[in-house]
Amino acid sequence: MKKILILSLFLLVPFYWTHAQSGPQKLKKEKISIGKKEIFVEIARTQQQLSVGLMFRKQLPQNEGMLFVFPDEAPRNFWMKNTFIPLSIGFFSSKGELLEILDMNPMTSVLQQEVPTYQSKHPAKYALEMNKGWFAMNKIKKGQTLRIKAPTKAELKD
């Protein structure tokens, strides 16, 4: 039993250190638009960036968010682990069409047993996280198009 415990710790400690995050990640901001609305987003392209997302943020400036770029269209799952701000997420096709919008609530406590998770109903290539209610306040609706000025692709090699 003791050998199993030591082996488990030996395997888990390096994983923890390589994946531990003590604060929010800051990524380069780029301007994109949806319909006629221009916004600034941090773009998550690598596996690490996609995994961390907006974790550990205490606030998100108005009209700023994070764009998640995936290598293909597939159903997407997002969780709110270590996320302290309520968010809305828009899922987009590879052509940039807004497929659906979900509101996501943060964890209420670090002691919370179940982490809130949210899944897209449709395969998506892009996901855009903004402050909760942002899409509704800006009259952004299903069917509108996401426009990205710079070529954007996933870079899954960290």
CATH of domain 23-148: 2.60.120.1140
Q: What is the pTM of this model?
A: 0.79
| pLDDT for res 151 | 54
Measure the CA–CA gap between 34 and 90, rounded to whole angstroms: 11
pLDDT in tens, 85-123: 999 999 999 999 999 999 999 877 767 778 888 999 999
User: Which pLDDT value is given to residue 54?
Assistant: 85
The pLDDT tens digits of the residues spanning 18-46 come to 444 456 677 888 999 998 899 999 999 88
Q: Where are the domains of the chain?
A: 23-148
pLDDT at 11: 40
Q: How many other CB atoms sit within 10 Å of the CB of residue 45?
A: 18
Rounded to the nearest integer, the mean pLDDT of the chain is 82
For residue 26, give the DSSP letter: -
Q: What are phi and psi of 120, to 5 degrees?
A: -75, 150
Phi then psi for residue 154, to 5 deg, are -70, 145
